[in-house]
């Protein structure tokens, strides 16, 4: 996933993560899946303002099928506060069909800080 200035992912922002499950490059029908999740690896992070450190952690969320799942697509709408730290995040989709787990490739993406989250960036002019 790449970002541009117009659609950067930011801390505490809301975004939709959409993945397609494929086998040898062809989307597979996941409409009969019994489990569909996206696993996010949050990066290790230290709050510059407080010095508090947060370890890397994996968070597993349940995703929703798109179009009934016949095109292999599922998605997760990140709630406000889910993207709680800046840095390089990773995600991987997992679906279970007929007892078989289908993991996707791992996708890396950047979560950018907001200006008010950066100590010393904002200078009061008043």
Is the Cβ–Cβ distance between 36 and 63 less than 8 Å? yes
Q: What is the pLDDT of residues 13-49, one digit of tens each?
A: 999 999 999 888 899 999 999 999 999 999 999 988 8
Counting the structural domains of the chain, the total is 1
Q: Is the pLDDT of residue 121 over 80?
A: no
Is the Cβ–Cβ distance between 85 and 66 less than 8 Å? no
Q: Is there a domain that residue 92 lies in?
A: yes
Spatial CB neighbours of 94, under 8 Å, sequence gap ≥ 6: 35, 36, 37, 38, 39, 101, 102, 103, 104
Q: Is there a domain that residue 15 lies in?
A: yes
Q: Is there a domain that residue 122 lies in?
A: no
Q: Is there a domain that residue 43 lies in?
A: yes
Confidence of residue 118 (pLDDT cuts 50, 70, 90): low
Lowest mean pLDDT among 35-39, 106-110, 122-126: 122-126
User: What pLDDT, on the 0 to 100 scale, is given for residue 117?
Assistant: 59
Q: Is there a domain that residue 77 lies in?
A: yes
Domain that holds residue 31: 9-114
- What ranges make up the beta strands (E) of 43-99? 45-46, 53-54, 57-62, 64-65, 73-77, 87-97
User: What pLDDT, on the 0 to 100 scale, is given for residue 37?
Assistant: 96
Residue 60 maps to which CATH number? 2.60.40.10
Q: Is there a domain that residue 125 lies in?
A: no
Q: What is the pLDDT of residues 49-102, one digit of tens each?
A: 888 999 999 999 999 999 999 999 999 999 889 999 999 999 999 999 999 998
Measured CA to CA, the distance from residue 49 to residue 39 in angstroms comes to: 29
């Amino acid at each position: 996933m790449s970002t541009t200035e117009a659609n950067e992912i930011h801390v505490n922002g809301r975004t939709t993560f959409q993945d397609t499950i494929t086998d040898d490059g062809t989307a597979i029908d996941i409409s009969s899946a019994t489990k569909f999740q996206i696993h996010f690896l949050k990066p290790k992070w230290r709050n510059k303002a407080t010095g508090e450190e947060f370890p890397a952690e994996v968070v597993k969320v349940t995703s929703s099928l798109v179009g009934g799942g016949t095109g292999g697509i599922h998605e997760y709408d990140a709630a406000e506060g889910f993207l709680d730290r800046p840095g390089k995040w990773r995600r991987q989709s997992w679906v279970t069909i007929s007892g078989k787990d289908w993991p996707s490739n791992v996708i890396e993406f950047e979560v950018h800080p907001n200006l008010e989250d950066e100590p010393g960036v904002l200078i009061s002019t008043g």
